Amino acid sequence: MPRPISAHISLSAMRHNLLAVRRCLDSAQVAGDRARPHVWAVIKANAYGHGILNAVQGFGAADGLAMLDLNEAVRCREAGWNGPILLLEGFFEPADIRVLDQHRISVTVHCAEQFDMLEKARPGRPLDAMVKLDSGMNRLGFQPGAYRQAYARAQALQQRGVLGALGRMTHFARADDDAQATAQQIAVFGEATQGLPGSASLCNSAATLTEGLWAHCVPGGEQWVRPGICLYGASPFDDRPAASLGLRPVMTLRSRLINTHVLKAGASVGYGYTYTAPRDTRVGVVACGYADGYPRHAPTGTPICVDGVMTRTLGRISMDMLGVDLDPVPGAAVGSEVVLWGEGGPSVDDVARASGTVGYELLCALAPRVPVQVHTE
Ligand SMILES: *Cc1c(COP(=O)(O)O)cnc(C)c1O
């Protein structure tokens, strides 16, 4: 029998979260004359650890899929996804362009070097492209003063049939915690792209879930939002739990107790003896460790659920095991069900917060050795 750990992926939770996003966008509709933005479901990093093919199924109702990796994009096509695909960092070398052409994959163009490559390319069909503005994130994109020139380069390529539909894109640095910084980026975007044709794409999860924000991003026209984390049922905000946003966890990480014992008062558990029992304490050992993707830096006290009862971890997380406090769960025994995060347990965000990180990192870090079960209902 394999170790009793497993990750469960709920496709119905994926569908539910996509609907929740669309409902949130609708609630902001202004006077009926603005069409709801289209949704790129962001499925980079193996769909935030949930599996590309699961995402293709679960987000089948999205308007498009956005990701980073060309091979993942090709796998989406091979899985039967016929809608738009956007590569959020575009392409990296001239040879990529042939693959983009073959599979009808759209790109972000964020630097002059990518235009250089496009100007030498002869794709059989025009490629759709989003020209990226750096409105303040200071990672990728053309600077505001250079944006019009970059867009003109894209339009010249459009004239030559190398590029097809064009759009304008930017990315927010603080949509989760600073409305003023976001308003500033929107203002920079408005000024740098004013009067340019094509669709617009600005909002990540945090911006998408900030009611009404999308309608302030651009005065009109076709808009695409790019939610990622919220579609997996985790929150982009520190102070707003996913459940309060109407989201359902897509991934549930489960395991079982493989041992129980009483830790004598004054005795310690695990590497480094970081937890010493103040009194006799019943401890359970869970078949889950950092080699499964559970964070090693989760301290004693990180929430965890045993037999449906919320309790806490004890001591340092090992490679393959971790300790839990069984005092609140006197009936627990070898074989008892443990939920590390997800449905019926703590949220991945709660585990992440206790460990000094974000839900994104834990979901993406699910280890390949953990067997995945997909639930369609
Ligand atoms: C990852 C990413 C997103 C999605 O971000 P979330 O915070 O997960 O919603 C959107 N746009 C770009 C360019 C990204 O890289």
> Ligand 1: distance of its center to the CA of 41 in Å?
9
Q: Is the pLDDT of residue 115 over 60?
A: yes
* Beta strand extents in 264-329 (DSSP E only): 268-269, 275-276, 281-286, 303-306, 309-314, 322-325
> Ligand 1: distance of its center to the CA of 168 in Å?
16
> Ligand 1: distance of its center to the CA of 227 in Å?
6
Mean pLDDT, range 62-79, rounded to an integer = 97
The pLDDT score that the predictor gives to residue 377 is 78
Mean pLDDT, range 331-337, rounded to an integer = 98
Q: Is the pLDDT of residue 28 over 70?
A: no
> What percent of the chain clears pLDDT 90, i.e. is strictly above it?
96
Backbone dihedral angles phi then psi of residue 267, each to the nearest 5 degrees:
-90, 160
pLDDT tens-digit map of 202-220: 999 999 999 999 999 999 9
Where residue 30 falls among pLDDT bands split at 50, 70, 90?
low
Strand 85-87 with 64-67, pairing: parallel
Domain boundaries, the chain: 11-235, 251-375
Q: What pTM was estimated for this model as a whole?
A: 0.97
The pLDDT score that the predictor gives to residue 27 is 84
What is the position in ligand 1's atom list of the atom closest to the CA of 169? 13
Handedness of CA 316, 317, 320, 325 (dihedral sign): positive
The pLDDT score that the predictor gives to residue 109 is 98
- 152 is written with which tokens? 């003109």
Q: What is the helix, strand, coil percentage profile of the chain, to 5? A: 35, 25, 45
Q: Is the pLDDT of residue 175 over 60?
A: yes
User: What interhelical angle do 179-193 and 147-159 show, nearest 10?
Assistant: 50
The residue length of the chain stands at 377
Mean pLDDT, range 7-24, rounded to an integer = 97
Residues annotated as catalytic are 44, 271
Half-sphere exposure of 72 (CA within 13 A, CB side): 25
Check: CB of residue 110 under 8 Å from CB of residue 148: no
Q: Is the pLDDT of residue 236 over 50?
A: yes
Where residue 268 falls among pLDDT bands split at 50, 70, 90?
very high
The pLDDT score that the predictor gives to residue 1 is 77
Where residue 2 falls among pLDDT bands split at 50, 70, 90?
confident
- 341 is written with which tokens? 């995060």
Which residue in the block uniquely carries the two structure tokens 């006197």? 330
The pLDDT score that the predictor gives to residue 31 is 42
- 275 is written with which tokens? 């937890």
Please name the fold of domain 251-375: Lyase, Ornithine Decarboxylase; Chain A, domain 1 (2.40.37)
What is the position in ligand 1's atom list of the atom closest to the CA of 176? 7
- 280 is written with which tokens? 């006799």
Measuring from atom 4 of ligand 1, which residue has the nearest CA?
A: 228
Q: Is the pLDDT of residue 77 over 90?
A: yes
The pLDDT score that the predictor gives to residue 138 is 96
- Is there a binding annotation on residue 139? yes
- Is there a binding annotation on residue 319? yes
Q: What are the beta bridge partners of residue 339?
A: 254, 305
Pocket test for ligand 1, best of 18, 42, 110, 133 (most atoms within 8 A of CB): 42
What is the position in ligand 1's atom list of the atom closest to the CA of 89? 13
Higher pLDDT among residues 33 and 313, named by residue:
313
- 94 is written with which tokens? 């001239």
CATH number of 11-235: 3.20.20.10
Q: Which residues line ligand 1 (CB under 6 A)?
A: 42, 44, 88, 171, 204-205, 226-229, 236
